[in-house]
Structure 1
Amino acid sequence: PKSSPEPSVRFPLSPFPSQHADVRIFSRLAWAGAALWCGSNPFFSCAQRSKPQCRGLAPNGFQNSIMAPVWKCLSTTHSLRDQHYSHWEFPDWVPSTRKWTFLSESECAQYLPEEVKSPLFSIQREGIEEDSVLYRINRFNSLQPHEERLDVSFFVGGPVWAMEWCPCPEGSGATQYVALYCNKGMDDKNSLAELHVGPALLQLWGLGTLQPETGLAYAIATDHGCIWDMKFCPSGAWELPTPCRKPPQMNRLGLLAAACSDGRVLLYSLPHPEALLAHKRAQVQCVATLQVGSIQAGNSSECGQCFSLSWMPSKPHHHLAAGFYDGTVAIWNLPTKSLLQRVRQPDGSLKLYPFKCFLAHDHAVRSIEWCKVNSNFLVTAGNDRKIKFWDLRRLYEPINSIKRFLTTEITWPLPYSGVTVAQDNCYASYGLCGIHYIDAGYLGFKAYFVAPRKGTVWSISSSDWLNAVAAGDITGELLAAVLPDLAVNPLNIKRPSERRFPIYKADLVPCSPAGRQAEESKAGPAVRARTYSEMAKEHYLCFQDTDLRSFRNFFSRAPMRRMHEQEVKAELSLDRMQLESIHKVRFSPNLDSHGWLVSGGQAGIVRVHCLLGLISPVGRKLLQERRAQFSAMYGGQPESPSASPAEHALLQKQ
């Protein structure tokens, strides 16, 4: 309070609250919130300055007031990654050919997804007259990227439930990879209350330098059941594919942690695909198995299935957190030498036990996220409908606990003190179902409504480079929203509907003309097919893509009108298979592909889009500078010097 004899918060902050009576009112919430926002947020110093003039239109057609936070986030993200990212970590975990067993066709058959061909689908791109060609592609195959829009589509064989981009250094110009997991069968149902094992396939897709090189790089066969989440080590795990290491070692592409339905977390050291070029599927020994309990405990986890992971975002990235079915959060110290936490297995791999466990929720932990600027803070969301912010130094109670609705996924945008939240609509109040930004509690801002949604939002992802979030829902719509400057009260933001836009909408369309006419006239019976074979037999998916190269006159264009109409009048049919549903959405964390977004869902069709209109001249200039620095440091680019269409899209001037 201004009337206090001393300021309520001082900088630099002490880890302990002051004994002054006026300061003690804030308790741990004030100190934790101030530490993670004001102490680390570069916008804090900017907030005191006069606001720049943000009138007029940016080159992409958006208002300058909308794009100003995007331009700020580029320099903020670049600066903080220079501070918190590392060049090389975990030097002992280098992939070796001795730990890889290549499977024959007959051996790998039990791991492969059941569907060998995708459902029928068409792609209608805004502004392009097409004949609505119906595609059906084979398993592990892809369509050629569109020459103008650059979107990529490929079929993985089953419903996608976990997906993540592989990080690479800024300016490396390296091949981009996406790791993903899909269920074996289209109609598979798994009980979340029980542990279960079984064959599964972890796929690694190479997107080239986002040019016509898309294909399955290799796949890893596992016997640990479903993979519900996966996270790459944020930095320090990638190395140049050349020069090659001396055999049997292979150059490392990344370190990947996978949350499995048998209650374990598997840690893989992935090699560059060049070393495994002659083999497409392999069974590999993980470098470490992470398990809750102790050395004296049995093999089965008492905490149930593992649903969510978060890797400590600040170097040296030694800690990994996981959320489990019974509400437990466990944190491992990966390079520990403690004999109580590290056990060498007979096969040479490691079994690690956590150094810290606490009961975060009364039910399953659906999502967990580390604060990117201060590793002392963590946020969790559980099936008890609560979102809790934690100070890892004081775990006896959360900093803040918010009970609102059933959260499906959360993400913590880099510059801000709160989280963006996707939700299931089963507990949401009328008119409040959708995507929200929720402050950690220190600033006292009310929840900011980012975008309304009619159905359950399965996945949400934020881009630190673009100050944007993207979300996919059960209705088959993938949308993105540019966030305002959330360092000030977002309730003062005018016309928030102008900040969101659709990327594509997937609709289920009857194959027969009679069926289409009946659906248009609403005269025919409602679709009630509950199995994939019934649905795919008489229907196809129609993807309606937005032209994302520019946002000029955007609010009068057909995709925006359709999105606003469905936000008001859309009907959701829950008595059939939601073949169009989008389960996972991920923005690329890499500067070289920071405008790219990957999404996948129930149909097993994964799509990659470039949000070219959000890539600003500031981002292009930063990319050129980082590529020059990388080339000077390593004596050349690891990839071909010829520029791909995607690179032209990122580097060319508007």
Structure 2
Amino acid sequence: MPLCVPRALLYLQELAEELTSVYQPAPPGEAPEGSREPEPDGPWRKRRRRRSKKRWGEEEPEDDADFVPSAEGESDLLLSEASESEPELLQGPSVQVAAKCKLLCRGQAPNGLHNSIMAPVWKCLAVTHSLRERLYSHWEFPEWIPSTRKWSFLSESEAAQYLPKETKSPLFSIQREGLQEDCVRYRINRFNSLQPHEERLDVTFFVGGPVWAMEWCPVPDGSAASQYVALYCNQGMDDRHSLAGIHTGPALLQLWDLGPLQQETGKAGLAYAIATDHGCIWDLKFCPSGAWELPVTCRKPPHMSRLGLLAVAFSDGKVLLYSLPHPEPLLAHGRAQPPERVQCVATLQVGSIQAGNSSECGQCFSLAWLPAKPHQSLAAGFYDGTVAIWNLPTKSLLQRVRQPDGSLKLYPFRCFLAHDHAVRSIQWCKANRNFLVTAGNDRKIRFWDLRRLHEPINSIKRFLSTEIAWLLPYNGVAVAQDICYASYGLCGIHYLDGTVWSLSGSDWLNSIAAGDITGELMAAVLPDLSVNPLNIKRPSERRFPIYKADLLPCGPDGGMDGQEPSEKLPAKAKSYSETVNEHYIRFQDTDLRNFKNFYSREPMKRMQEQEMKPGLNLDRLQLEAVHKVRFSPNLDCCSWLVSGGQSGIVRAHCLRGLASPPGHKLLLESRAQFSAVHEEGQAGSPNPNAPRHTLLPAK
């Protein structure tokens, strides 16, 4: 028992040295600050080290496998000076793993971040790729193929009621870190975009209204295909939608083509748009895999090659499934002018054949598609706290009804009351299909086991949650919250702070990104909580800004004032027209190509200074607010992030600084595998349900 005291002291001393010197390595030839002078390497010192290690090993050889105590000033020597007479004590598997973890987490990575920050990123690449190979499919839902017979194209007069009202974007400028650029003001026409920046590759386009739903279209790993983003925006800049009850009305679902998003990306463009009459769209979710095929897939008319299956949550309480085609077949028919009207392949609603009233549960706010093949389940959260789960390929006559127009109406096979109020966000566990997490307006976050739904596994009551993300490599969920609300007894009090509207996670990068009401878009690299030898979390050193949007007043002559946002903003500017007449948006972009000397660079200093200011002013329209953020789920462009908000300006950024050699190697292997699979498919596939493909050349 007395031996535990020196062991603990040595461990604490080593831990203190690592915590104080891990981000500030000592120059060559200098001892770390706070350490004693190294002792000469004499026989007495070696004997002392051997005696102390042998004494520990005799007592409890397995207890200290998670760390390797070393003499002062020798943290980098580790096993290299071990005596040859005691290999069984010092070279066991657990000791070697601990030593390897410590060596991996020391020093700086090539991108400028510390190795302890980047190590989980390198690890999650293999973990994510392995799981996707097991749980993702090449082809699912073969009966839901898009057909030209299901599409009707609207005339200009018919389309007017569906289009966003604003034909031009608000004035804005872009200031990129490290570049001397003129403060040029831009104003983009509706459905148009700026030319991507040749160095930073950022993409900017205007969709016509405030963005409230957005999602990337999944593509197979290594396909080198064009990337698409589906989104919804309100028709008017000042529109407000009540959460209570249900409502219908015109809405426009937009699909944007961002190109292949490689080192030389093309200009973003609107591929096509879908007009609906089911009210506003609260959430969008693509089928995770098995819904994409090559655009040049040979199909007999009127069928078209399929881009993806998209589930859409509407304010009338329904969930519609759309089978989206590639834009090329529509162009071949000369009918790709927005908007179009398309018949959905299935309508999902709560109730039953006997009582099919979809208004009982209220509006649908959140969706989650089962991430494991065959992706047969889809979960949705509703206003009254209900979570419904549908079995999409069901043949049950109680859950499946064929409509006169050929589409399906599906009823859920499982419903349960998850919250006392609206379900704001829902996520499926990617590693186990039996687990769900939900966040509701009752300020509770609940974890559910679908095999026993009579009570949640865990229930946490915090602030009002706006969105949650359940990353595969991370041991837990990330939560975005509206901290303008705090509990006070049985009631609540409001105080001015800020709202994080959206949160998105990347399994490939082990990172999250969040957009808030102040116009700040930030990202953070998550720590590895399962293996963390240095016990370093340090969230302030793991996060960084992507851009900051500020609403600034124009100068007296109509030019840009150039001053920081302050009380100069008029309190009466609560409408969009009042705001844009005298103000513009300034985007300050971070150079994301590397993170060298990042903590002393201007974006980090600006972020730290603004965190100490209460800069939120609710007496005006938050035109700079970021409402939706999404990391790309595709390996080919996993470092890309798209964001949009109140201004209707959508931006895509490339986080090239988080790219790594293991990621590049994995991408090359996936492209070779993709080409090989589709070359075999071109010769003929034994699966009758699989489509016949023509090889797409890798770019």
Q: What CA deviation, in whole Å up to 9, does each residue of 1:269-302 have, x standing for no partner?
A: 0001101123222100000000000112244420
C-alpha contact 2:138 2:289 (8 A) present in aligned 1: yes
Q: Which moved more, 1:179-188 or 1:630-639?
A: 630-639
Matched to 1:460, the amino acid is L
Determine the structure 2 residue equivalent to 1:531: 575
1:511 shift after superposition: 1.3
Q: How high is the TM-score relative to the length of structure 1? A: 0.85
1:517-554 CA-to-partner distances (Å, cap 9, x unmatched) read 69659674644311000001110000000000010000
| Cross-structure match for 1:242 | 296
**1:490 to partner: Cα distance:** 11
Select between 520-529 and 240-249 the one with higher mean Cα deviation.
520-529
Matches within 5 A, 1:498-513: 498-513=541-556
Q: Deviations over 1:147-169 (max 9, x none)?
A: 00000000000000000000000
- Aligned in 2, Cα 1:522/1:397: closer, same or farther, shift over 3 Å? closer
Q: Report the Cα distance in structure 2 between the residues aligned to 1:391 and 1:521, rounded to whole angstroms.
A: 47
CA distance in 1, matches of 2:242, 2:400: 31
Deviation at 1:494, TM superposition (A): 4.7
1:514 Cα deviation after fit: 8.2
Alignment of 1:626 with 2:680, yes or no, is no
**Structure 2 Cα separation of the partners of residues 428 and 70 of structure 1:** 35
Shift of 1:229: 0.2
Q: Compute the displacement of 1:639 (Å).
A: 8.9
Distance 2:614 2:198 in 1: 33
- The SS at the match of 1:93 is coil
2:379 matches 1:321:
yes
2:115 equivalent to 1:64 = yes
1:355, 1:586 → 2: CA distance? 30
Contact 1:205 1:218 (8 Å CA) reproduced:
yes
Kept after mapping to 1: 8 A contact 2:678/2:695: no
Residue 640 of structure 1: how far off its partner (Å): 7.4
Secondary structure, aligned partner of 1:275: helix
Task: Quote how far apart the aligned CAs of 1:385 are.
Answer: 0.2
| Pairing partner for 1:362 from 393, 403, 420 | 420
CA distance in 2, matches of 1:48, 1:366: 46
Letter in 1 for 2:123: K
Aligned to 2:31: none
Instruction: Give the count of matched residue pairs.
Output: 577
For 1:120, give the aligned amino acid: L
Q: Deviations over 1:64-96 (max 9, x none)?
A: 110000000000000000010011100100111
Question: 2:326 matched to which residue of 1?
Answer: 272
The aligned amino acid for 1:69 is P
Q: 1:100 and 1:524, CA in 2 relative to 1: closer, same or farther beyond 3 A?
A: closer
Match of 1:351 among 389, 396, 409: 409
Paired position in structure 2 for 1:648 = none
Instruction: State the shift of 1:486 in Å.
Output: 2.3
Q: Is the 8 A contact 1:97 1:250 kept in 2?
A: yes
Amino acid of the structure 1 residue aligned with 2:480: A
SS of aligned partner of 2:138 = coil
Deviations 1:39-78 (A, max 9, x none): xxxxxx9999412411111010000110000000000000
Q: Distance in 1 between matches of 2:529 and 2:235?
A: 41
CA offsets 1:114-140 (integer angstroms, 9 cap, x no match): 000000000000011111100001000
Question: Residues 390 and 400 of structure 1 are in contact (CA less than 8 Å); yes or no, is this contact kept in structure 2?
Answer: yes
The structure 2 residue matched to 1:183, chosen from 209, 234, 249, is 234
Say if 1:412 and 1:241 are closer, same or farther in 2 by CA, change over 3 A: same
Asked if the contact 2:191/2:205 (under 8 Å) is kept, the reply is yes
In 2 relative to 1, CA 465–641 (structure 1 residues): closer, same or farther, beyond 3 Å?
A: same
Distance in 1 between residues matched to 2:344 and 2:521, nearest whole Å: 34
SS at match of 1:267: strand
- With over 3 angstroms needed to count, the CA separation of the structure-2 counterparts of 1:291 and 1:524, relative to structure 1, is closer
Alpha-carbon distance in structure 2 between the residues aligned to 1:115 and 1:490: 54
Q: CA deviation at 1:428?
A: 5.0
1:495 to 526, 538, 549: 538
Note the C-alpha offset of 1:491. 11
2:459 matched residue in structure 1: 401
In 2, distance between residues paired with 1:374 and 1:46? 28
Shifted more, 103-112 versus 317-326: the winner is 103-112
- 1:423 — aligned with what? 481
TM superposition shift of 1:576: 0.9
Q: Distance in 2 between matches of 1:589 and 1:520?
A: 36
> Matches of 1:174 and 1:395 in 2, distance apart?
41
Structure-2 change in CA distance of 1:92 and 1:561 (3 Å): same
Q: Which residue of 1 aligns with 2:78?
A: none
Do the aligned partners of residues 390 and 269 (structure 1) sit closer, same or farther apart at CA in structure 2, a change above 3 Å counting?
Answer: same
Give the AA of the match of 1:409: E
Q: Distance in 1 between matches of 2:163 and 2:281?
A: 14
Equivalent residue runs for 1:291-310 within 5 Å: 291-310=349-368
8 A Cα contact 1:459 1:583, kept in partner: yes
Map Cα deviations across residues 481-502 of structure 1 (whole Å, 9 max, x no partner). 0000022589942532110000
| Structural mapping, 1:200-219, within 5 Å | 200-210=251-261, 211-219=265-273
Q: 1:490 to 1:329 in 2, by over 3 A?
A: farther
CA distance in 2, matches of 1:525, 1:304: 38
**AA of the residue aligned to 1:359:** L
Report the secondary structure of 1:559's partner residue. helix
Write the letter of the residue equivalent to 1:264.
K
Q: More displaced, 269-278 or 331-340? A: 269-278
C-alpha distance in structure 2 between counterparts of 1:505 and 1:294, whole Å: 48
SS of the aligned residue for 1:564 comes to helix
AA in 1 matched with 2:132: R
AA of the residue aligned to 2:580:
A
Number of the residue aligned with 1:550 = 594
1:589-634 CA-partner distances (Å, limit 9, x unpaired)? 0000000000000000000000000011110010011011111221
Aligned residue type for 1:297: A
Instruction: Give the secondary-structure state (helix, strand or coil) at the position aligned to 2:612.
Output: helix
Task: State the match for 2:196 in structure 1.
Answer: 145
Identity among equivalent positions (%) equals: 76
Distance, in Å, in 2 between the alignment partners of 1:388 and 1:491 is: 31
Can you give the 5+ residue segments of structure 2 that lack an aligned partner in the other structure? 1-92, 489-495, 683-692
* 1:17 match: none
Aligned to 2:281: 227
Give CA-to-partner distance per residue, 1:430-451, whole Å, 9 cap, x none.
Answer: 9xxxxxxxxxxxxxxxxxxxxx
Change (3 A) 1:47 1:80: farther
Is 1:573 aligned to 2:617, yes or no?
yes
- Give the distance between the partners of 2:95 and 2:675, measured in 1 at CA: 37
- Structure 2 residue corresponding to 1:133, chosen from 184, 189, 206: 184
Rounded to whole Å, the distance in 2 between the matches of 1:216 and 1:47 is: 56
Please tell me whether Structure 1 or Structure 2 has the larger radius of gyration of its CA atoms: 2
How many Å apart are 1:569 and its aligned residue?
2.0
Over residues 372-419 of structure 1, what are the superposed CA-to-partner deviations in whole Å (9 max), with x where a residue is unaligned? 010000000000000000000000000000001100000001023410
Say yes or no: does 1:459 pair with 2:502: yes
Distance 1:125 1:46 in 2: 47
State the Cα RMSD in Å: 2.2
Deviations 1:310-330 (A, max 9, x none): 000001100000000000000
Q: 2:293 is aligned with what amino acid?
A: E
CA contact (8 A) 1:518 1:524 kept: no
Q: CA deviation at 1:103?
A: 1.0
Once residues 189 and 523 of structure 1 are traced to their aligned partners in structure 2, the CA distance between those partners, rounded to angstroms, is 26
User: Could you tell me which residue of structure 2 aligns to residue 40 of structure 1?
Assistant: none
| Whole-Å separation in 2 of the counterparts to 1:362 and 1:231 | 24
Report the residue type matching 2:625 in the other structure: S
In structure 2, what is the Cα distance between the partners aligned to 1:521 and 1:454?
16
1:587 counterpart (631, 634, 654): 631
Using the TM superposition, give the Cα deviation of residue 242 of structure 1 relative to its aligned residue in structure 2, in angstroms. Answer: 1.3
The equivalent of 1:468 in structure 2 is: 511
**Correspondence 1:330-345 to 2 at 5 A:** 330-345=388-403
Contact preservation (8 Å) 1:293, 1:301:
no
Whether the 8 Å CA contact 2:225–2:260 is kept in 1: the answer is yes
569 and 351 in structure 1: CA distance in 2 versus 1, 3 angstrom threshold? same
- Pairing partner for 1:259 from 306, 313, 321: 313
Look up the SS of the partner of 1:618 in the other structure: helix
What amino acid maps onto 2:316 in structure 1? Answer: D
